[in-house]
Structure 1
Amino acid sequence: MNFFAEAFAWIFDPAHFAMVNGIWPRTVDHLFYTAVTMLIAMVIAIPLGLLIGHTGRGRNLVIVTTSAARALPTLGFLLFIILFSGLGLWPFVIVMVVLAVPPLLAGVYSGLEGVDRQTIDAARAVGMSEWQIIGRVEIPLALPLILGGIRSSVLQVIATATIAGYVGLTGLGRFLIEGLALRDYTLAIVGAILVAVLALAVDGLLALIQRLVVPRGVSRGMARTISTRSRRPTRLPAMTVAPIKEG
């Protein structure tokens, strides 16, 4: 418990905020790595997810690929990339993008798949083009799951960006890495606490944005649709029982 008390005392010491390697500069760096990663991941995952969710093509291939990407050991993959490209920002960003794409992609195409097919058929019946259906019908109705995928992806990136210190970068993970290297467990706990607080703060901000952006009717309708599908009984084939012959 002394380590935790010392860690909180270290965090609330004003001298540790604005110095060169203090809390604020490393927090800004951590957010910068997260923003760059998420921007690239969204450029890749959102159009692909919209295509898969709208057409239903390539879904199985994407599921297999994203599952394999999630199974990759992050630090081992980072070291593998470094062997070919060297230290720096972009090897780290590549690894983070590979980590960020699967939950984001899953949120997008799952959201579009959750839209009622009758609604889409009605949109086609009134003369909407496929692009209009995606932009005016499917995306607004799928927005809760899309934003949920973004939140999940951002949290994973923030938590995993602590390994930036292994490639010569900064960020809040430097406190953790330096603390373990120097056997300064107070500093290591400081890094863990700061990363957790940053993740909770960003998730709370994204949750507020989601609540403001998504209309209540859309959110309730999507939840009702998912609940109805999950409770739908599975129809089993009828079983024929042969009569028992006597004697």
Structure 2
Amino acid sequence: MDVIPRTWDWLSTGAHWTGADGVWHRLGEHLFLTGVCLLISCAIALPVAVVLGHIGRGGALAVNVSNAGRAVPTFAVLVLLLLSPLGTHGSWPTVIALVLFAIPPVLTNAYVGMREVDRDTVEAARGMGMTGRQIAARVEIPLALPLIVTGVRSAAVQVVATTTLAALPGGGGLGRIITAGFRLTDTAQVVSGALLVAALALLVEGLFVPAQRLLDPRRRSRSTPRPAPRTEREPA
């Protein structure tokens, strides 16, 4: 098979990395679209999950409804949006489809994280006179943060991989490299584009892992050194 050496030749050619159709430009488009979709999905899902997780009502219904959206393929949603009046509004069909795809993992993990906070800890905070907002901000959200970050990480990796669909209606991103390769019947270019998307998804995954560990309050408390106990000196 000569696909591997041809793919290496394509990736190592400097001309493929520069210009309007180069890898760096397409990578910037891919990251921008991914970041916008992820921010919008977090802005929608996190407040809903925090409120429902705090009050403990309506969360199961919201999670089930959001998870039902996973059964609908993102490509099908994108096609329907392109055929609707929104199809004439630039990248909005792609953004909406990706946001709908990213909301379920963010919402589910944040809600579960809020509900799994130890109820005794919450009651102790309430007994200290904290208001509902203070309990959510100072107790529940910090303790739920590891699961919240897990949901955001899962959504980020999925959006990075799925943003390649933006190339189908003529949008930007690394998917344009793949579609151009199909158009030119250039297998090496198709494989190169796929490898770039996979590498970016792995990089995003790798960046979230240490962030999740640093934000874990239980891990921070374990790593904080405790002062040595003071001992009384015996009289001489």
Provide TM-score, normalisation by structure 2.
0.88
Q: What amino acid is the match of 2:107?
A: L
Cross-structure match for 1:81: 81
2:59 corresponds to 1:64: no
Provide TM-score, normalisation by structure 1.
0.85
Cross-structure match for 2:176: 174
Alignment of 1:123-202 (within 5 A): 123-202=125-204
- Once the two structures are aligned, what percentage of the paired residues are identical? 45
Contact 1:144 1:219 in 2 (8 A): no
- Specify every segment of 5 or more residues in structure 2 that has no aligned partner in the other structure, as ranges: 223-236
3-state secondary structure, aligned to 2:214: helix
3-state secondary structure, aligned to 1:57: coil
2:122 corresponds to 1:120: yes
Separation in 1, partners of 2:122, 2:77: 41
- Specify every segment of 5 or more residues in structure 1 that has no aligned partner in the other structure, as ranges: 221-247
How far is 1:86 from its partner? 1.6
Cross-structure match for 1:29: 29
Separation in 1, partners of 2:204, 2:159: 11
Contact 2:146 2:215 in 1 (8 A): no
Residues 68-124 of structure 1, C-alpha deviation per residue, up to 9 Å, x if partnerless? 211111111101011111242111100000000000001111111111111101110
Name the CA shift for 1:216/1:17 in 2 (closer, same or farther; >3 Å).
Answer: farther
Q: What stretches of structure 1 move > 4 A for 4+ residues in a row?
A: none
Separation in 2, partners of 1:125, 1:47: 25
Name the CA shift for 1:204/1:20 in 2 (closer, same or farther; >3 Å).
Answer: same
How far is 1:216 from its partner? 4.7
Alignment of 1:18-57 (within 5 A): 18-57=18-57
Q: What amino acid is the match of 1:177?
A: T
Contact 2:34 2:160 in 1 (8 A): yes
Q: How many pairs were matched up?
A: 220
- RMSD of aligned C-alpha atoms? 1.6
Name the CA shift for 1:144/1:170 in 2 (closer, same or farther; >3 Å).
Answer: same
How far is 1:64 from its partner? 2.3
Contact 1:141 1:218 in 2 (8 A): no
Separation in 1, partners of 2:58, 2:5: 52
How far is 1:215 from its partner? 3.6
3-state secondary structure, aligned to 2:171: coil
Contact 2:142 2:217 in 1 (8 A): no
